[in-house]
Structure 1
Amino acid sequence: MMLSPYHIRVEVKTHYLSEQSSPEQRRYVFAYTVTLHNVGTVAARLLSRHWIITDANEQIQEVRGQGVVGEQPYLRPGERFEYTSATAIATPVGTMHGSYQMLADDGLAFDAEIPLFRLALPHTLH
């Protein structure tokens, strides 16, 4: 299988933030660290993001915005960009996924998919 010249690999790690959470108020806060890696052959800039955040009660939050953490990173082939952000949900377990809207140097707009990942309190799931 040949990779597209427009290919941004997205990896995510999560961490429960107990000090910012308040379970008695149904507020569970999770940090997530995203690494974007341009494994394609064309440089591209991240313009915007679209997140779909779902808690265990199937309550969905959609988040759209420009860039990530105040930046619109430019990734040449082989380069990486990493950032950390956070989200709050009303249940101890949930999921996130979405996409980044990218613009390649040759003018092509494309999406970099963010694969589904789980938000979960430690020891909640096996």
Structure 2
Amino acid sequence: MTTAITDGVKITVETQYQPEYSNPANEHFMFAYRISIENVGSHAVQLLRRHWHIFDSNSTHRQVEGEGVVGVQPIIEPGQSHEYISGCNLKTDMGSMKGEYQMVRLMDNTLFKVTIPEFYLVASYKMN
């Protein structure tokens, strides 16, 4: 589990290799990740956009940007959290992801960025 706090927003990430959706012979490795976005600040915030950096262990780097997360732009009140599960495919059995969310503080419409800490995607058989 990986955690970071930026401007009153706590991001926690857990990952899991998905062997049933992977095909190593065809360089297809599927990973799921669960992200919890907790508002530990004192003002409501809304997640507007995401920006990911995805790295394979073969030095491939790609970026993914878009609105919201899994189709929503959640408003998170102080003391509340939003959790979602998504996935990422790699061409290798190890890699990493990191990024940022663009958020707005609803009290004064201040835009700010929240760091998504780097986390590792590793096939379970590599951990033995």
Task: Please indicate, yes or no, whether the TM-score normalized by the shorter chain is above 0.5.
Answer: yes
Normalising by structure 1, report the TM-score: 0.93
1:50 aligns with 2:51: yes
**1:88-108 superposed Cα distances (whole Å, 9 cap, x missing partner):** 010000000000000111110
Aligned partners of 2:29, 2:120: CA distance in 1, in Å? Answer: 13
In the alignment, structure 1 residue 18 sits paired with structure 2 residue 19? yes
Please list every run of 5 or more consecutive structure 1 residues that lacks an aligned counterpart in the other structure.
none
Instruction: Find the aligned partners of 2:94 and 2:71 in 1 and give their Cα distance.
Output: 27
Is the partner of 1:124 in helix, strand or coil? helix
CA shift for structure 1 position 7 = 1.7
CA RMSD of superposed structures (Å): 1.4
TM-score for the superposition, normalised by structure 2? 0.92
- What percent identity do the matched residue pairs reach? 38
Deviation of the 1:85 alpha carbon? 0.4
- Which runs of structure 1 show a deviation greater than 2 angstroms over 4 or more consecutive aligned residues? none
Please, which runs of 5 or more residues in structure 2 have no aligned partner? none
C-alpha distance in structure 2 between counterparts of 1:29 and 1:61, whole Å: 16
Matching residue's letter, 1:74:
I
